[in-house]
Every structure is written in C-alpha cells, then in structure tokens.
A and B are shown apart, each in its own frame.
Chain A
Amino acid sequence: MVEAKDFLSKDPVAWCPGCGDFGIHNAVKKALVKLGKRPQDILLVSGIGQAAKLPHYVKANCFNGLHGRALPPAVAAKIANRELTVIVTTGDGDCYGEGGNHFIHNIRRNVDITVVVHDNQIYGLTKGQASPTTGQGQVTKVQVNGVILEPVQPLALAIALGAGFVARGFSGDPDHLSTLIVAGVQHRGFALIDVLQPCVSFNKVNTYDWYNKRVYKIDSDKTYDPGQRVAAFQKALEWGDKIPLGIIYQTEKETYEDKSGLNKRPPLILEEIENIDISKILAEFT
C-alpha cells in the first residue's frame, strides 16, 4: 500500500500562485496513489518548461532532461527497464514545438509510456510568447499583430498518427484528470493526455473562466464510443464554444515491447554483461 505522503518531495515548488500546474500536480499524485506502485518503480521524465519542474515536486525517479527531448529518454528508459512505470510531464512548447519530431515518431514507436502535456497555450517559462497551440489572433510580446500560424490540434494529430490512447483533461478538475492518468498508465502503449491549463501570468485569454465555460465531459455522453477512430477524429477537432474532456480515443494495439520481443525476456538492466562470450561471432571473421 502506498499513500500520498510516500510521494512527498522536499523540493520547494517554484510555480506562480494560482498556476494550472498545481491542479496537474495534484492529479498526478492522486493517480500514483491509485496505481499503488512504489516511488522507486515510477519514473517521471520531463524536458524544460514549467511543466518540466513537476517531477521535482513528486518523490519518484526523475529524469529532467532537455527542452523538447522528454520523449526519447522516456521511451529508452522503458525499453531498458520495462518494469518501470514511465510518465512524461511536458508542455505544449516542449512536446508539440521543440519536440514535435519525437512526438510524431514515438506515437509510431508505441512504447508503453504515458505522456501528460501541460497545455497552457502559451510559453510560460520564457514569459509569454506564442506556443504551437496558441489561438490565432492572440497578441503576445513577439506576435505583436496577433498569432498568424494555425494552432496544432494535438488530439487530432495523435489520432491521425495512430496513437492508441488519446485523452484531454483540465487542470481545474484534478479528480477527473487523475482518472485519465490512471487509465493512460493502464493502457498498454503510448498514451497521450493533453491537459488544458491556464497560465495566470501570461495567457490572459484562456483563463479558468474561459475553460470552465466551455469544457464538458464526454463520459457523460453514453452514446459516444471512444473505439471509433473516425468519429474520435471528429471529436478531437471540436474546439470553440464546446471543448470535450475525457478519453477521446482508445484502442488496443501491439506495443513496441510486444513486437520487439522485449516483453518475452527479462528487463535489459538484468542482463549479465561480464565476460560476454563473443567467440562464435568472431568465428564469422576467420
């Protein structure tokens, strides 16, 4: 049995008061308690950004790497030790901007990891420039005439690329978000949870109030079937007056670990490496 106090970190939190990250932090901790794994069997991986600080505020293994590069070490860690529960905490800039190529190809790779994207539709740590998900027309200190690029639609992109688990949460509803994180971890394969999150300092458009007026849970719609890819794609495009929360798409797929045979052997970290006998392959060179 694990309890909330087992995941308590001594590191002081450095987010702005009222930041949406607090809600996600709560949801992650709740999810970890529900999952019931020991802190040393969990690995939280992050890149750079406000979201990337989260692993420091949880007592679990932490790999806080480079901006945009959270996914490569996360999947490699899972490949090296498939007994670890690997959760990535990343942001809209980290994951969809700087790390966009890794986002695309790790969905294809389908390693069993869970990716929680703190999507505040703005760059917080660099103080307020447009992110890949900032709405068109939004004025920033750099996009002084308003954003002219089309925003990335991460859920639709993930479904198009073949992700097996695609969900959206809201930092204003940590209980609901924690159930999504639990479901994401329990899903076998790459699980994406895009989390709507206000940035109280730099995003004056997408506020708590803005989100609260728009979000609704698709779980309450008994007719919605998250197993239908085309319908899910359509749902993923829904944005504006109404924004759906919940598991948008889920399907069982073979994972990287299944297809590569990793699931049939002990974790790589247990391989004995002293005095490996290479005489048989050396014979191929005689």
Chain B
Amino acid sequence: MPGELTIKIAGEAGQGMQSVGTALGQVFRQAGLNIFATQDFMSRIRGGNNFFQISISSTPLLAPRQKCDILVALDKGSIPLHRATLTARGKLIMDQKKFGITEAAENYFDVPYYDLAEKIGGGELFINSVASGVLAGITRLKFDFVRQALKKIFNNKSQEIIDKNLAAAKAGYDFAVGNYKTEEFAVKQLPIQESLVMNGHDALALGAIRAGCKFYSAYPMSPSTSIMENLASLGRDFGIVVEQAEDEIAAINMVIGASYTGVRSMAATAGGGFALMVEGFSLAGMLETPIVIVDAQRPAPATGFPTRTEQADLEFLIHAGHGEFARAIFAPGTIEQAFYLTVKAFNLAEKYQIPVLIMTDQYLADSYRNVEKFDLGQAMVKRYRLSKEESTKITNYKRYQLTDTGVSPLAVPSWINDVVYADSDEHTEEGHITEDGEIRKQMVAKRLFKKMAGLSAEIEKPEVFNVAGAEVVMIGFGSTYGVIKEAAEALVQKRIGFIHLSQVWPFPGKAMEVLLKDVKKVVTVENNASAQLANVLRRETGIKVTRSILKYDGRPFDLDELITALQKES
C-alpha cells in the first residue's frame, strides 16, 4: 500500500528476530508511526526458519501485508525462502561474506553483521541488535530512538549486556548511514500519539484482571500459554492465583470449584486442551457455575500446527459438551475487543451463571499494533452474586430455585445462613439428586430455554461497514476483522461492505436477517476449510452464502490475497 513500509526479519529460531522486532516497534512508535507486527514461527526452540514482519504507516494498520520492502536475512537459509516476498522496490539485506554469496552486489545491501558484532566484542548473539541499528539507519531515524528502545527491552539485564547491545546497534546504524546512500526508505517522523502497544493475549489478560478474575488455572499449550504467563506476571500485584494444573481436566474443574466458592475464575487452552475440558464445560452448564474459558485456536486435528493459526473450532465450541445448556461465545476481532469482551464475558457468565467462551487464535494472540488507550469506563465489573449484606438475610436457600429468567440467586457458601448444594446429577431446586421427570423438564427449560432467551436479547451487535447498497458483503468472525476491514476500505469503489461478528453464540440471527435482506452476494471469509460460519449462518437464518473465501494453510489472511480473492467477485 502506498505510504507504508513493511520490514521482514528472518532467521533461525534463537537468532532473536523477536527482540529486533520489538525494538523496531518501539523505534517506529517513538517516531510517531502506526505499527502492525506479526510473527511466524515453527514449533521448535532452535533452528528452522522464523520471521517477524512489521508494517509502518502514518495511518492505522490492521492486517498483515503479503510483501515486504526490506528483507533482513539473519541466516543464509532465509534468502531463498523469503526473497520472492520482496516488493518491486524491495531490498534484501544480508551478510555477503558470512553467507558466502557470490551474486552481483547491486541486488542487495551487504551488511557484515557478524563482523560488526564481533568488533564490539559481542559475537553472534548480538547480530539482532546490529540489524535493528541498520534498519533505523536506512529509515533515517534518530539513533536515540534505538537507544531508548533497547534500554527498555533489556531493562532486566546487566549493564554490560545493555552496553554491548547498544554498541552493536550503533555499529549497525553507523554502517547503514555511511553505506546506504539512497533515501528511498527514509521515514517521515510524526508527532507521537498516545497509545498502547500490545497483542491480543496481552489485552485479554488485562481484561481478565480488570474483570476481577482471581483464580486462573491452565495447562501450558500453544498458543494459549501467553495468557497464563501474562496473568502470572501482570496479575501479581492484583492477588490473582495462577495455578498450573496437571492437565486441562483439572484446570476446568478447579476453575469451577473456585467459582462455586465465590471468585471469578478463568482457564485458557487450545482446541486440543478444550477437547479435554468438554466434560467440565458441561458440568459448569449443569451446576450453573459462571466460568470463562478461552480457546486459543490452532490448526488441528490432534496436534496439528502447534504454532500456527486457524478458526476451525467454531462449530466445536457451539456444540461442545454433552447435553443441552446455555452458553455464550465471544470472538474478538481486534486487540481492543479482546480487552472489552473479556470483561463482558466475566459479567455475562455471572449474570446468567453459565460457561462463557472466548475464541482467539495464534494470529490474534501474537500479532500486535498500537491501539487507542482503553476506556476503563467501558470496562466495568457488574456483580450478580448475593452480596455479603444480602446474604445474611438468606435462609432456606435453594441453589436452583425456579424463576422466570432461569437464573436463581447465587450465594457465596459460608455467607448465607444455610448451605449451598451444587449437583452434577439432575437435581431438585435444593440441589439434591432426583429422577423426577417433571423436575427434569423444568430444569432443562431453566438451563437452556430461559437462559438462552435472556442471552439472545443482549447479543453483541455485529459491526457493519458499507452494507447499505453494497454489491458484495463479506462476513467474518474473530481475528479476520482487521483484514476484512482493510480490504473493504481498499475496495470501497467496488461497493464491498462487511459484517463482523464478535459474538457468535447465541448467534445474532435476527440481526443478520435484517442486514442481509437486500444483499445480492454474501461471502464469508474464514480461516477454516469447511466454511463453518457459512454453515452456522444457514442453519440459524436459512441464508445461503454466495461463496466462502477460505484459508486453512495455518497462516492468517494477508491483505493482498484477500483483495485479490475479492476482485473475482465483481
């Protein structure tokens, strides 16, 4: 896109692409630019090929680009893998001597990273810092930005490490300023805007903290683990107990136990871990215990692609659990939504005493950009348990008291003047085992119909863009928001609109019927193979889509490929 610059840094796992990337993000932020960064990594700790890609622009960016203007190859193997992704004006940066390259010098910019790192007394651990200096030099930004960025990134390291990284970056910077003669990648500095830089799982963890989550249990599983790490580190000052469970079955059962006792609780996992949690998910439905579960999706079945992305758990989550009970499923499309919807998920879980799911994926989890400061007034805790004061008056408590809304008063054990029976068997209003058919029917209605009626009345509104009079309307859910929005904006003259669902259950069927009434062509855009959203849409509304643009290679959509796919529509 014009007015943008995309930089890709590729190398082996362990070469520190992430550190350069983070440093660059800081540098460009200080220069007042908008950033959008993605990471692509293999399921290994050393070797292989990973890359980090960052785009910068004076206008906000929401999606990855297919091509890069600058490719920094930190190892020889990256050159054949990524060279074809350079734009027409694109420039490859590499270490000619180190990689033993013989081709003509005008095809690339030769930077002796290894020699430069060696000269400052560092060695190959420091080539990533050399690279960050080179990139700041080529883009003609002040070295001071690099200094600030590296100091921030290495603030928990020794002074010696910080100094060496700074020296390495300075060597790269001076080399680039001295040897890269053209101004083609010079970046125009802008006034810095106040914003936050984070990824989807940072935002989700912050949302959980804000929502009053006090107990978190999970078993490590990519790409969900960053939520656990965030809550363990960021949550420390908020008294959040983070307990690494022996398996996902334990995790969800612990979360339910903590919630029964009166605290807001959450677990996160990927699809495979959620498969293990499904029985517990059903238990939460039966016990009417509020819990929040995150499914950070990755390509499956089974182990699949552990470090890559997919949106193929939609139907799984809608149907997960034996038996019939109410649930809500959020599918945040942006980093901001990951924050606000997590707060909403906790409130809704407690209001209806149900399990609430949040679906993310590796792409949403790991990509980051600058976002507007959160409005905490829009992220307020709403409580629905009996307060300590109210509890003192409660005697003859019926945990599953039948009500018009299906929601019974939710007591905190030990606060009321009675006891709380919670039972996974079919139970009476008191919570004792029963085999009475009439009670069974009333309890099913309570857990399913009545609660779904309430939930359906407050579904998160789909976000709508240029739908009135559109030729084509794209529909997406979850993490494809950014790419769909940018594609619709790029194709505004072709009258392509979009609808994005950030809540997929209860399905906003009525809203979709109204929105799609006069639309000729409906196209879903999904990171899965079987067009799951299109199937749900048809089942819930009878609306049949014209076609679905599907991607299931484990990679997120990039803007260019979606635009190309949409060109075929008109």
Contacts and interface: CB of A to CB of B under 8 A. Distances in A.
Q: Are A and B genuine complex partners?
A: yes
Interface of A: 10-11, 14, 39-41, 43, 45, 48, 53, 55-56, 59-66, 69, 71-77, 79-81, 83-84, 101-102, 104-105, 260, 262, 265, 268-269, 271, 273-276, 278-282, 284-286
A105 B250 contact: yes
**Residue among A48, A59, A284 with most chain B CB within 10 A:** A284
Given A84-B413, A281-B234, A285-B198, A76 B418 contact: no
B260 A282 contact: no
B103 to A, nearest CB: 43
B413 A56 contact: no
Interface of B: 194-198, 202, 206, 209-212, 214-215, 217, 234, 237-239, 241, 243, 245-247, 249-251, 253-258, 260-265, 279-280, 283, 287, 373-374, 376, 380-381, 383, 412-425, 430-433
A73 B245 CA distance: 12
Contacts, number: 183
Nearest to B412: A269
Contact of B253 (A48, A55, A72): A72
A268 B246 contact: no
B413 A40 contact: yes
A274 B383 contact: yes
A282 B425 CA distance: 44
A104 B245 CA distance: 12
Given A61-B413, A76-B215, A282-B196, A66 B283 contact: yes
A84 B414 contact: yes
Contact of A81 (B197, B262, B279): B262
B217 A65 contact: no
A268 B214 contact: yes
Given A274-B212, A285-B198, A75 B261 contact: no
B214 A281 contact: no
Contacts of B420: 61-62
A102 B257 CA distance: 14
B202 A271 contact: no
Given A73-B254, A76-B255, A275-B381, A282 B373 contact: yes
A272 to B, nearest CB: 8
Contacts of B415: 40
A15 to B, nearest CB: 12
B381 A282 contact: no
Contact of A102 (B246, B287, B383, B431): B246
Given A56-B433, A286-B194, A262 B257 contact: no
A40 B418 contact: yes
A56 B424 CA distance: 12
A115 B268 CA distance: 28
Contact of B287 (A65, A77, A279): A65
A121 B257 CA distance: 28
Contacts of A41: 414
A63 B257 contact: yes
Contacts of A69: 249-250, 253, 280, 283
A285 B432 contact: no
Contacts of B380: 274-275
Contact of A76 (B261, B414, B423): B261
12 contacts: A40-B419, A64-B433, A65-B253, A80-B262, A105-B246, A268-B258, A271-B239, A273-B211, A274-B380, A275-B380, A276-B209, A276-B210
B374 A72 contact: no
A45 B381 contact: no
Contacts of A265: 239
Contacts of B215: 76, 79-80, 268
Contacts of A56: 421, 423, 432-433
Contact of A83 (B209, B238, B414): B414
Given A64-B425, A276-B210, 13 more contacts: A41-B414, A65-B287, A66-B253, A72-B251, A76-B215, A76-B257, A79-B215, A101-B246, A101-B249, A268-B215, A268-B241, A280-B237, A281-B209
